[in-house]
Structure 1
């Protein structure tokens, strides 16, 4: 096993509450009488991409909005909050990073979010971008997950075959993207990702460090 690929920013840090608050602030700033509850937002996370969530919600209400502009406002609010308040790495992620660095295993941060979001999340969690051998963002990939473009791009940049890497994802679209790229993937649901969403997924973990290390070492032994 030559690489560990961490998926969306929710795999690295649990920012769901912060992002929900940013959405609701953005709605207010754009004059919308919308307030998403935690339960509503949790269900919406089944759809990747904040702009798409806004579009679908507006359609369900029979309203027309500039979803892209609202999402841009939300992103600016989220990044500002992240910068001022910070956030911790999810339990076990630090151990995964340390294990990879200690054992000369390459690291990837395989996202389809903005470069700004990636920069802010790494800064907020005190993780140096240079530890990653590849980082993908919406600046270099066009298709959101569950399309496998982000993972295929990462593998190409690393010069690896799918059986030489393992992915970790916190959401079903990300998991499916990894599987479509023929990667083994560990599902590590974040706080607003219902475990039931992963009903057909066999490898779900709350101990991400042990699960990843076991998977890597079993592949090496084979």
Structure 2
């Protein structure tokens, strides 16, 4: 099967922001008068659920507390964006290699995220000219689907807009929860864990890597791997 598109599935597949995110949550907690502090282990456990407001709600329940999760998350986003505006972020290992190869070979690329437009814009601003939104054939956002990840809706929409079938694409996701989204859309997926999502269960990924490469991406379809076909692990760096 010919590879027609590479689908990057979240901000974390492009840049490493895990610790920026965690620090922003903790600042928001202090601003809200909450005696909470998420260390790395706690944050890694909470990444099993998708969406910042949902994580706040879940954590509050474990403590028997009631909070305005949306307001706390608004403050978190404010702190995160302020930190990102400093800039200087670099793409994760292999991302630029994949993007350059895809442009040369005529393979489409998409940023298939269900985050907000604000988060998308601040991420590309932090990347400067290293990687821009215009480098992608398609960039999705939260307003384009009623069902965020891990539902497959945003990936199904991306396939429709790109005019391709699931069997012509390879997706890249960085957490076990977000991985469920492309798999549910029947797209072969490479797991590319971030700093705080290492050790999660990526058993249904076609490959698990610490660095993206053209060889890994192209081998998925060439070998006939389907989404969730095996439990293969690839050391890519």
Short-chain TM bin:
over 0.9
More deviation in 119-128 or 186-195? 119-128
CA contact (8 A) 2:175 2:200 kept: no
Larger proportion of helix: 1
Equivalent residue pairs, number: 219
- Asked if 1:157 is matched to 2:144, the reply is no
CA contact (8 A) 2:87 2:125 kept: no
Pick the aligned partner of 1:111 from 107, 110, 113.
113
CA RMSD of aligned residues (A): 1.5
Alignment of 1:20-99 (within 5 A): 20-99=22-101
Pick the aligned partner of 2:190 from 186, 191, 208.
186
Change (3 A) 1:183 1:139: same
Partner of residue 174, structure 1 = 178
Shift of 1:133: 1.2
CA distance in 1, matches of 2:140, 2:205: 25
Instruction: Note the residue ranges of structure 2 that are not aligned, 5 or more in a row.
Output: 225-237
CA contact (8 A) 2:206 2:220 kept: no
CA distance in 2, matches of 1:132, 1:190: 21
Alignment of 1:202-217 (within 5 A): 202-209=206-213, 210-215=215-220
CA distance in 1, matches of 2:146, 2:206: 29
Shift of 1:142: 2.0
Instruction: Note the residue ranges of structure 1 that are not aligned, 5 or more in a row.
Output: none
CA distance in 1, matches of 2:135, 2:93: 19
CA distance in 2, matches of 1:63, 1:132: 42
Query: Which gives a bigger RCO, structure 1 or 2 (Cα 8 Å, sep 6+)?
Result: 1
